[in-house]
């Protein structure tokens, strides 16, 4: 589809005040009101050789207000309150014009409104010079309604639930940071989170997802997701050497995902099928990330990162969109205004895939890059000249999550000039 037009009207106003008196309980407050109206119209009238002409107009309106208050509690305490209220209205439709037949009309975003009100707080407490705590809490109430009889009639095609939904979600997490050595820092974070389904997950009707090639249909009966999260990491920072390692895990109940439903026919030409949003009893996501930077002899340095994620449902189904193990390492030389850097980027093959999501296996690859830069001044302006060669070996590859497996650039040479005023 081509964009016939797209426009946005965005406005906001902010008021704030700081209290310099140390005896004041309130340190600072800020209140902000905002409004935006976005219109779009997808139109393929001028596109040649299409099986059927379609128009797809839509719009969204969002308005809200939020209040942020910084408070002084005690010498070692800092507290922040956040209160907000917002309302969003969504609408989108599609009209199809088959040859020699009457036009067909449908709502892809049946007219709906969502009202949200929330209250949250962040408490920072310095236990000692070595130990700090942070507590985050938030409570939200979310109501969604279909606002026209036409919208209710559309939703009744795939669900008996047309009376709207209401969710109350709560989130809480605590993070501790301990400096057990001048160069070593340990951090641990644990929390419980809840997420209400989006308007698309509830009421979307034949919304095409180009990433997996399926039409999606919503489910107004979805429950909220609930998750237990934990993360821990260690950092080392001393003069010429730094490194960090982080491990994380999330256990999600009532995980929302799309599953194929063969009882529905596709609406989008070329679509691979239809998926309806449903929920898996549980899903688990875990992974780690590491990085290091070393200042070697003279002006040489070495930087590298390593990242891996594993995700599956209780039915042992791999979650889609999970990138494979990836390692990036580079060696550089810097002296005065000159910089030289050689980089290697390596990605493992990804065979843990979700075929129902349209994924296929991805081959591993190794890329080599070379970059250089030089800084200089001209008439009181600072300039930086950069140049380099990416994918030196002209490797044919694509990342696992690249749309349509479209290949990335082959060998390319670039140069750019950056001006700093």
Residue 350 lies in a domain: yes
Residue 414 lies in a domain: yes
- Residue-level pLDDT at 2: 67
Which among 208, 172, 206 is positioned nearest to 189, based on CA atoms?
172
| Pairing label, strands 326-335, 300-313 | antiparallel
Who contacts 298 (Cβ-Cβ below 8 Å, separation ≥6)? none
User: What is the value of pTM for the model shown?
Assistant: 0.85
Q: What is the pLDDT of residues 127-138, one digit of tens each?
A: 888 999 999 999
Q: Which residue has the higher pLDDT, 317 or 245?
A: 245
Residue 190 lies in a domain: no
Given a contact cutoff of 8 angstroms between Cβ atoms, the answer to whether 200 and 220 are in contact is no
- Evaluate if residue 141 carries a pLDDT over 60: yes
Residue 204 lies in a domain: no
Structural domain boundaries enclosing 387: 325-421
| Pairing label, strands 53-72, 77-97 | antiparallel
Average pLDDT over residues 206-217: 85
3-state secondary structure of 52: coil
Q: Using a pLDDT cut of 90, give the percent of the chain over it.
A: 65
Q: What is the pLDDT of residues 307-350, one digit of tens each?
A: 999 999 988 889 988 999 999 999 999 988 899 999 999 999 99
The mean pLDDT value of the chain amounts to: 91
- Using the structure block, give the residue that is written with the tokens 């209780």: 314
- Residue-level pLDDT at 99: 80
Question: What distances in angstroms separate CA 149 from CA 94, 112, 153, one per listed residue?
Answer: 17, 11, 6
Residue 280 lies in a domain: no
Q: What is the pLDDT of residues 51-85, one digit of tens each?
A: 777 788 999 999 999 999 998 877 778 899 999 99
Overall domain count for the chain: 1
Residue 389 lies in a domain: yes
- Evaluate if residue 273 carries a pLDDT over 80: yes
The half-sphere exposure of 167 on its side-chain side, counting CA atoms within 13 A, is 23
Residue 382 lies in a domain: yes
- Evaluate if residue 225 carries a pLDDT over 80: yes
């Amino acid at each position: 589809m081509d964009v016939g037009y797209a426009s946005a009207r965005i406005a906001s106003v902010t008021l704030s005040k700081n209290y310099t008196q140390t005896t004041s309980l309130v340190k600072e407050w800020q209140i902000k009101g905002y409004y935006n109206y976005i219109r779009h119209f997808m139109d393929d009238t001028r596109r040649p050789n299409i099986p059927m002409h379609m128009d797809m107009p839509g719009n969204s309106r969002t308005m809200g207000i939020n209040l942020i208050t910084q408070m002084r509690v005690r010498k070692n305490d800092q507290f922040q309150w956040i209160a907000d209220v917002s309302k969003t209205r969504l609408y989108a439709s599609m009209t199809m014009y088959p040859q020699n037949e009457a036009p067909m009309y449908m709502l892809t975003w049946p007219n709906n409104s969502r009202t949200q009100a929330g209250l949250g707080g962040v408490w920072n407490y310095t236990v000692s010079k070595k130990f700090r705590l942070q507590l985050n809490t938030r409570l939200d109430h979310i109501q969604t309604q279909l606002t026209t009889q036409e919208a209710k009639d559309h939703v009744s095609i795939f669900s008996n639930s047309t009376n709207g939904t209401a969710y109350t979600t709560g989130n809480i997490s605590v993070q501790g940071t301990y400096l057990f050595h001048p160069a070593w820092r340990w951090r641990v974070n644990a929390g419980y989170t809840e997420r209400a389904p989006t308007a698309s997950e509830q009421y979307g009707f034949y919304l095409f997802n180009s990433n997996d090639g399926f039409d999606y249909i919503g489910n107004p009966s979805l429950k909220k997701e609930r998750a237990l999260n934990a993360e821990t990491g260690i950092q080392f920072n001393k003069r010429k050497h730094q490194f960090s390692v982080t491990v994380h895990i999330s256990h999600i109940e009532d995980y929302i995902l799309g599953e194929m439903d063969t009882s529905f026919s596709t609406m989008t030409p070329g679509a691979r099928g239809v998926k309806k949003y449903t929920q898996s009893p549980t899903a688990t996501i875990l992974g780690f990330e590491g990085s290091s930077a070393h200042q070697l002899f003279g002006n040489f340095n070495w930087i590298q990162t390593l990242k891996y994620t594993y995700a599956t449902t209780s039915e042992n189904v791999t979650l889609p969109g999970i990138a494979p193990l990836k390692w990036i390492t580079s060696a550089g030389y810097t002296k005065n205004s000159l910089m030289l850097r050689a980089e290697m980027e390596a990605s493992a093959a990804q065979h843990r895939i979700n075929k129902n999501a349209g994924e296929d296996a991805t081959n591993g690859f190794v890329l080599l890059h070379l970059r250089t830069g030089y800084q200089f001044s001209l008439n009181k302006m600072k300039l930086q000249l950069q140049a380099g060669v990416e994918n030196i070996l002209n490797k044919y590859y694509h990342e696992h999550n690249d749309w349509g497996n479209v290949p990335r650039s082959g060998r390319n040479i670039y140069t750019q000039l950056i001006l700093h005023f």
